[in-house]
Structure 1
Amino acid sequence: MSGAALAVVVVVVFFLALYLLQRYGDLWKQQRLVLFGTLLSWYLCFLIVFILPLDVSMTVYNQCNSNITNNTTPATPTNPSSRSEANFSPFPSMSPPGKCEEPWTYIPNETLRVFWRVVYWTSQFLTWLLLPFMQSYARSGAFSVVGKIKTALIENALYYGTYLLIFIALLIYVAVQLKWKLTWADLQTIGITAANTWGLFLLVLLLGYGLVEIPRSYWLSSSHDYMLSKSYFKVAKMANEKAEADEKLADVMEEVAGIHASVRQNHFLRKYVDIILTKCPTKYQEEMGINVEISRVDQNAPPTKRVLVKLHEKVVSAVQRHNQTQVQWFILLEQAFHLEDVAKSRNSSLRHFTHSFPLAHRGWIRRFIYTPTVEWFWECVLRQGLCRLLAVLLCLLSAAVIWSECTFFSTHPVLSLFAVFIQLAEKWYNYHCIEMVCFVVILFMCVCVYSTVFRIRFFNYYYLVPHHQTDAYSLLFSGMLFCRLTPPLCLNFLGMIHMDSAISHKDRVQTSYTSIMGSMQLLSFISDGFYIYYPMLVLLLCFATYCNLGSRCLNLLGFHQYITDDDLTSDLVDEGRELIKRERRKRQRAEDGENRRWAWRERCGVDRATGRNRAGYTELKDNQKEPVTKIKKSVVTFTRRNEKADEQQTGLLQEDSSDDESPNRRSTGGSYLTLSPPVKGVFDDV
């Protein structure tokens, strides 16, 4: 079992990272280098989270062997004959001393150290060097690889220089403290400490938000009225963003059209203009092709290459933002329609969920498993109770994390709840309990932090949009955040369970993860001060999140947030409700029109029989329920003189049967009888 657990975790985590990348990115259109960098950064960070519980159980096993070897404490291992029962029992039976039972996920110590060293330094290389460079490279508007590399180096010069100055300052401080006796291991420790300090600063901010927002979001999602009002608010807000994106795209396309008209085909900059045109939507490309000759009458001076580079960057950004708003708009419409359907179905006594716009083709899951009756019970009965139960459990877990963050520095007595659990399980060498507690706690902390990374939005520069709409810059930025947040998150967790000697102040076996970090005592003001007391601020951030202080501040600055007791929020909710009504009427008219056209095509279709010649055609009877003039059935026969005439007559009949603009037209063999429709647009909705 030594390598099976590690292999399973490695494979499962890879597919998890690939699934998230497929959900937010576009595997077929985005640059391969961007996809590779993002996938690798997400994969390594998720891998750290899943492997750390195995490292903790291995540390407990190594501590047992160390105790037996040094005879410092009596060993209390488990009897090999009852090995399987001991692993699954919360209180295993005691066994003869002198032998420690291996955990079921046993991994050699050297393998873990090599694994952590490769994973950690690869993630640090990604977050501090490669991903920032790739960000600038992907966002550059240059037309060649050399130009993109040059732009990326210039943009990152200040970025790299800032961190170099911080490292030099810490280096001078340590050198003075140690009287200039530094080793390569000390330099590594300084770099690791500086990186973890910056990561811990961000970690507490994001963790404090997630510890409150995640349980609260599940509790509020159980309230249908709240979800519907918030959906209206999002629709109104997205309508404004959609209008701004459309306007910006139109302005950029107008600028492109002017440059397209000013640069002739034989100009040396024409190839760059053609590259820009390929990034424009098809509709605008066609308009530019039609109006190019007219625009050249008032021709301007050709632009410079620098202007084209900036324009190229603007076009890519405007098109990406336009596509994002379009996709988000339709998603919000579907969510609002669904919530309105839930409100209608809750008041129904039929216990049958009814969709306003049912799917044309339903899969076998909806036909046989998730039937309308099952959907009604889930949406109207079960979902509310399950969401509230999950919210209560998450709230208790959040309270335990907050308490442990504020008290993990206390070792006598031990106040951290998770440290108490781990020490109790360590006494009985219950590896299953140790790994389960570690996995649940660190997974919850990661969900709180990572979900905040997926939710936050820095204007339009960083924004993770699902349904394959996230741009390359945002994907790479998320990878950078993950790589910076995960190492301090793991160190913070090890401190909470007193597996870090810098916190517990005990002479015990260290985990393989902390062994590669080196001794933090080189920077005592960080290891004994910042690492211990700064996480206490998570309590203050949780209180601010609970009171919605951040949302209220953003609302005052003009960035509208959903606040239940705000007048502006109420206005946006009313606006969103009207927008949903309008979109519902529009979609209903479109469906009714499509149904009418389909009915006319069915009634006026031509029987295309092959292999024999027809002698005549029979007029179809009108439906008795339709308020139109009845047409008596008549038979008109004709004799075809040649094959050419036959093809012409058949073609006319087929064209008439598929004409959507004239549904009242009737055809008889070789002649037409037309009922003129009313003027288009007058009685379309009747």
Structure 2
Amino acid sequence: MKTYFKASKLMTEKADAEENLEDVMEEVRKVSESIKYNHPLRKCIDTILRKCPVDYQEKMGRNMDDYEDFDDKQNTYPTEKSLVKLHKQVIYVVQRHNRTRVQWQILLQQAIHLEDVAKNETSLSHQFVHSFPSCEPAGWFCRYIYTPTVEWYWECLLKPWFYRLLSVVLTLFSVAVVWSECTFFSTRPVLSLFAVFIQLAERDYNYLYIEMACFITIFFLCTCVYSTVFRIRVFNYYYLASHHQTDAYSLQFSGMLFCRLTPPLCLNFLGLIHMDSAISHQQKLQTAYTSIMGSMRVLSFIANGFYIYYPMLIVILCIATYFSLGTRCLNLLGFQQFMDDSEMTSDLIDEGKELIRRGETGIMITVSGQNQTNR
């Protein structure tokens, strides 16, 4: 159902991207026809044309009359500044069109795979059957090891239970993080779970356990933080797209966020395990991080107030996440979000289901055409 919902939203974005591409290509065609081969700005037009899709380049090339000279008396030629703006628009719309097209193909494959899993769950032969040969896994590993029988047991039997077990483990980690964030300022008694674990290992000088505990904790915190950044979409302009479809501006924007998030994340981790002297209030040897980056002792009202009590707001964030308050607010503002009890969501699910059906029909036509060609 969620995949159908994503398909409906992505198709809207895909149609909008195709429409914008058509409009910009029409503008490029007009400019290309107005500026002839011996015009000083013709090299700028050639640069813009090289960024256009191949089919549009061929279409524009057939309509060009390069033998006609330009007339200096005419004043309808675009300026170099307008061509720079057009060049930027071409790069953006072409990349957006390619991104939505690739995302649609990936989402279509995911939907077909999920439908195959739903169909094979009731199979008595315990053999995983794919709807389309193109969706079958290839390679020697899948041919000899990941056989249809193994695939059926993994996809229909083991994988759901694996995800349930993983959700329980991650829930325990999340509870430990929330509890430690709310209690890491208490040094006597020590209430932070991560600080307790590290101090127990410190007494026995178990360095391997300390390294593994720190690594797993930091890895979990980074996963929670950075996975959220991966899903941030700023005005649908800055966001990370999978399969190498992210533009340079979004990469720079996300890299900037990562650089800003990493130092406070490290400082927060040191506070959780009471290795920051500003929290533990103990005369300990400083860590390499605090010796270089410093601590929050510079400003007393931040070190003794904001820095200690601000992490407790994570409880409010957890409550809002549990009750999907962010999703409901976005829905009220007109941003369509997946909600089980929403009439709009059910309509988009039905629409997405029909779009997937059309995509499957297109795949069937393509496969049959290839088979006829091979024959």
Please state which band the TM-score falls in when normalised by the shorter chain. Answer: over 0.9
CA deviation profile, 1:415-452 (whole Å, cap 9, x unmatched): 11111111111111111221111111111000000111
* Residues in 2 aligned to 1:343 and 1:556: alpha-carbon distance in whole angstroms: 33
Offset of residue 597 of structure 1 = 3.9
CA deviation profile, 1:353-381 (whole Å, cap 9, x unmatched): 00111238821011011111000000000
- Gap change, CA 1:417 and 1:271, over 3 Å in 2: same
Q: Name 1:540's counterpart in structure 2.
A: 316
* Residues in 1 aligned to 2:106 and 2:137: alpha-carbon distance in whole angstroms: 19
Identify which of 349, 354, 360 aligns with 1:584: 360
* Residues in 2 aligned to 1:534 and 1:417: alpha-carbon distance in whole angstroms: 19
Offset of residue 518 of structure 1 = 2.9
Q: Name 1:375's counterpart in structure 2.
A: 151
* Residues in 2 aligned to 1:491 and 1:581: alpha-carbon distance in whole angstroms: 50
- Gap change, CA 1:498 and 1:257, over 3 Å in 2: same
- Gap change, CA 1:233 and 1:300, over 3 Å in 2: farther
Pair 1:241 & 2:13 matched: yes
TM-score (norm 2): 0.95
Q: Conserved in 1, the CA contact under 8 Å of 2:276 and 2:295?
A: no
Structure number, greater radius of gyration: 1
Pair 1:291 & 2:63 matched: yes
* Residues in 2 aligned to 1:566 and 1:286: alpha-carbon distance in whole angstroms: 47
User: What amino acid is aligned across from residue 355 of structure 1 in structure 2?
Assistant: H
Offset of residue 548 of structure 1 = 1.2
* Residues in 1 aligned to 2:295 and 2:316: alpha-carbon distance in whole angstroms: 30
* Residues in 2 aligned to 1:426 and 1:490: alpha-carbon distance in whole angstroms: 20
Q: Name 1:303's counterpart in structure 2.
A: 78
* Residues in 2 aligned to 1:592 and 1:249: alpha-carbon distance in whole angstroms: 30
Identify which of 234, 244, 257 aligns with 1:481: 257
- The gaps in structure 2 that reach 5 residues or longer are none
* Residues in 1 aligned to 2:352 and 2:34: alpha-carbon distance in whole angstroms: 43
Q: Conserved in 1, the CA contact under 8 Å of 2:7 and 2:104?
A: yes
Offset of residue 284 of structure 1 = 0.9
Q: Name 1:351's counterpart in structure 2.
A: 126
Q: Conserved in 2, the CA contact under 8 Å of 1:232 and 1:573?
A: yes
Q: Name 1:573's counterpart in structure 2.
A: 349
CA RMSD of aligned residues (A): 1.7
Offset of residue 316 of structure 1 = 0.5
Offset of residue 592 of structure 1 = 2.4
Q: Secondary structure at the match of 1:264?
A: coil
TM-score (norm 1): 0.52
Q: Name 1:337's counterpart in structure 2.
A: 112
User: What amino acid is aligned across from residue 242 of structure 1 in structure 2?
Assistant: K
Q: Secondary structure at the match of 1:461?
A: coil
User: What amino acid is aligned across from residue 416 of structure 1 in structure 2?
Assistant: S
Identify which of 233, 240, 258 aligns with 2:30: 258
Q: How does 1:355-434 map to 2 (within 5 A)?
A: 355-359=130-134, 362-434=138-210
* Residues in 2 aligned to 1:291 and 1:534: alpha-carbon distance in whole angstroms: 64
- The gaps in structure 1 that reach 5 residues or longer are 1-228, 600-686
CA deviation profile, 1:304-359 (whole Å, cap 9, x unmatched): 11111111111110011000000000000000000111111111101000011123
Q: Conserved in 2, the CA contact under 8 Å of 1:262 and 1:300?
A: no
User: What amino acid is aligned across from residue 122 of structure 2 in structure 1?
Assistant: N
Identify which of 290, 306, 309 aligns with 1:514: 290
* Residues in 1 aligned to 2:137 and 2:264: alpha-carbon distance in whole angstroms: 49
Fraction of identical pairs, as percent: 64
Tell me the number of residue pairs that the alignment of Structure 1 and Structure 2 aligns.
Answer: 369
Offset of residue 595 of structure 1 = 2.3
Pair 1:313 & 2:88 matched: yes
User: What amino acid is aligned across from residue 466 of structure 1 in structure 2?
Assistant: S
Identify which of 518, 526, 533 aligns with 2:302: 526
